[in-house]
Structure 1
Amino acid sequence: MSSLVNNFWQCYQETEFFSTQALSCQLSFAIITAYNPQGVLLSSMQNRLLDRKLQNEIEALGLPYRAIMGASADKRHMEKSWAITVDRNVAIQMGVKFDQNAIYYVEADHLRLIPCLIQEKEICLGLFSEKVKLVSELPKSPSSNYSTSYYC
C-alpha cells in the first residue's frame, strides 16, 4: 500500500461527524460526499458543483437524506456529505461514480468504512452515535484555495 493511500485510510478512520438532526440507531444509511474526488482538494466552487450533482442524483432516486458534515479530528478539513437511506451496494456504486476513495455505512449504529476506489479492507469504526455531534447548524467547511494538493 502506498504511503498516500495509507495516510488517507488513516484519516478516514479518524473522521468525526456533525449533524443537525439525530439519526435513529435503527436506521441503516450511507454517508457519501462528492467533495475532493480521489482525495484531490478542489476549490469551494468545484466542490459545491459536485455536491449539487450528488444531491440531484439522490433526489432522482427518491431516497430520504440529510446533510451531514465529516471532519478530520483536528477540524481543519471538513467535507459536506449526505446521510442517505440506501442499500449498501448502491451506496458503494455512488461512491465510485463520484470518484470517492471510500464511503461510510451505518447499520444498527455501527459505523463502517468501506473502500470504493482504493484497495483496502472494510473496517468497523465503532458506534456512529459516539462519532457524531448534534449541532444547531452545520459548521462551515474551512475555505480551500487548493486545486491539486492532497489533504491530511
Structure 2
Amino acid sequence: MSDSNRDLWYCYQQTQFLLTQAFSPTLSFAIITAHNPLGQILTSCQNRLLDKQLQIEIGKLQQPYRAVVGTSAARDHMEKSWAVPIDKDAAIALGKLFNQNAIYFVEAGHLQLVSCLLDYPEQSLGVFEARVCLVNELPDIYS
C-alpha cells in the first residue's frame, strides 16, 4: 500500500460528522460521499456535480436519506455525504460506483470504516455518537 493511501486511511479514521438532527441509536445506515474520488481533491464545481449524481443514484433506492457532512477535526476539510439506510454490500457497491476509497457504516450505534477500493480490513471506530457534532445547519461547502 502506498504512503498516500496509508495517509488517507489514517485521515478517514479521524473523521467527524456534522448533523442537524441526531439519528436513532437503533438505525443501521451507510454514510457515502461522491466527493474527491480516489482521494484526489477536486474543485467545488466538480464535487457538486458528483454529489448530484450520487443523490440521483440514492433516490433510485427508494429509501429515506439525509445530508451529513464528514469533516476533519480541525474543520479544514469537509465533504458533503449522505446517510442512507441500506446494507453494507449495497453501500460498498455505491462507493465503488463513485470511485470512493471507503464508506462508513453504522450498526447498533457503532461506526465502521469500510474499504471500497483500498486493500484494508474493515475497522471499528467506536461509538458513532462520539463522532457527531449537532449543528443548526450544515455548512455550505461549495463556496
Normalization by structure 2: what TM-score? Answer: 0.97
Residue of structure 2 in register with 1:28 after alignment = 28
User: Partner letter of residue 104 of structure 2?
Assistant: Y
* CA distance in 1 between partners of 2:63 and 2:142 (Å): 29
Report Cα offsets for 1:25-69 as digits up to 9, x if no partner.
000000000000001011111100100011011111101100000
Residue of structure 2 in register with 1:105 after alignment = 105
Count residues with an aligned counterpart.
143
Residue of structure 2 in register with 1:116 after alignment = 116
Overall identity of the aligned pairs, in %: 55
Residue of structure 1 in register with 2:2 after alignment = 2
CA RMSD of aligned residues (A): 1.0
Describe the SS at the equivalent of 1:73.
Answer: coil
State the 4+ residue runs in structure 1 displaced beyond 3 angstroms. Answer: none
Quote the offset at 1:142 in angstroms. Answer: 7.2
Residue of structure 1 in register with 2:87 after alignment = 87
Question: Contact conserved, 2:48 with 2:142, CA < 8 A, in 1?
Answer: no
Question: Equivalent residues in 2 for 1:1-150 (5 A)?
Answer: 1-141=1-141
* CA distance in 2 between partners of 1:97 and 1:2 (Å): 22
Normalization by structure 1: what TM-score? Answer: 0.91
Describe the SS at the equivalent of 1:64.
Answer: coil
Structure 1: where are the runs of 5+ without partners?
A: 144-152
Structure 2: where are the runs of 5+ without partners?
A: none
